[in-house]
Amino acid sequence: MNFEQARFNMIEQQIRPWNVLDDQVLHLLSVVKREDFVPLAHKALAFADMEIPIGRGQCMLAPRVEARLLQDAAVQKHEKVLEVGAGSGYLTALLAHQAQRVIALEIDPELAGMARSNLQRAGIHNAEVRQFDASVGAAAEGPFDVIVLGGCVPEAPQNLLAQLKVGGRLLAIVGQEPVMRATIINRVSETEFNTRQPWDSSAPKLLNFPAPSAFRF
């Protein structure tokens, strides 16, 4: 398989048409080797427009979803990032290229080990993968400039929003089948948040994030 041609096709046929036009993001997608973060059994699918199984019942996000999250996060070199759900470590690697530091939480010990190994092989030294229940966050390390959730949650998690710096932002896919929206929440003061939902998507569920109550009083 010609990985370089497949990578080029992914960027031109999937990523750009999804309004991912940021030059830095496109460059990262061309140099961070996605195929190195895909299990051997699925390497031929590394650049397909689909979620890829990585074991333990979990999946990598589709490339266009990762790319759009990365573009919307707009991480800067001085920023500290919390990633919720490291998976195989691919999105972690992309974020690490942009950030000062990334802390990635992964609840499954096997996937956490896979992500660590993949990042080490890729020469990423400013990202740390911790085997931990990501729904709790990492308050002791906060506050964070950026929090990125690598999967779907039923509603924006208040405990993670509390771990944002003023001026920081949280990105997640929020909702339940059949309606899920990319959600960007900016913390504008200690008590005020602005929310945008600029595009529709879907993503695998992150574990242990409770569904909102159907009852309202």
C-alpha to C-alpha distance for 91 and 32, rounded to whole angstroms: 10
Q: Is residue 114 part of a domain?
A: yes
HSE of 39 in the Cβ direction (CA atoms, 13 Å)?
15
pLDDT digits (tens, 9 = 90+) for 132-189: 998 888 889 999 999 999 999 999 999 999 999 999 999 999 998 888 999 999 999 9
Whole-angstrom distance, CA of residue 186 vs CA of residue 171 = 9
Summarised one tens digit per residue, pLDDT across range 70-103 is 999 999 999 999 999 999 999 999 999 999 999 9
To the nearest whole number, what is the mean pLDDT of the chain?
94
Is the model's pLDDT at 215 over the cut of 90? no
Asked, for residue 216, whether it belongs to a domain, the answer is no
Q: Is 91:148 a contact under the CB 8 Å cutoff?
A: yes
Q: Please state, in angstroms and rounded to a whole number, the distance separating the CA atoms of residues 103 and 81.
A: 6
Q: And the tokens for 194? A: 């602005």
Examine residue 217 and state whether it is found in any structural domain, yes or no. Answer: no
Structure tokens at 122: 């890729």
Q: Is residue 214 in a domain?
A: no
pLDDT given for residue 211 in this prediction: 79
Say what the pTM is. 0.95
In a domain, 210, yes or no: no
Range of the domain at 25: 3-200
CB neighbour list of residue 132: distance below 8 Å, 6 or more residues apart: 105, 106, 107, 138
Please report, for the domain that includes residue 184, its CATH number. Answer: 3.40.50.150
| Residue at 115 is within a domain | yes
Residues 6+ apart with CB under 8 A from 147: 81, 82, 83, 84, 137, 160, 163, 164, 168, 169, 170, 171
Q: Would you place residue 217 in the very low, low, confident or very high pLDDT band (cuts 50, 70, 90)?
A: very low
pLDDT at 214: 57
Calculate mean pLDDT across residues 195-211: 91
- Count of structural domains within the chain: 1
pLDDT band with cut points at 50, 70 and 90 for residue 1: confident
Whole-angstrom distance, CA of residue 8 vs CA of residue 118: 22
Res 202: pLDDT: 87
**Paired tokens of 135:** 């729904």
| pLDDT, tens digit, 9 for 90 and up, residues 7-66 | 999 999 999 999 999 999 999 999 999 999 999 999 999 999 999 999 988 999 999 999
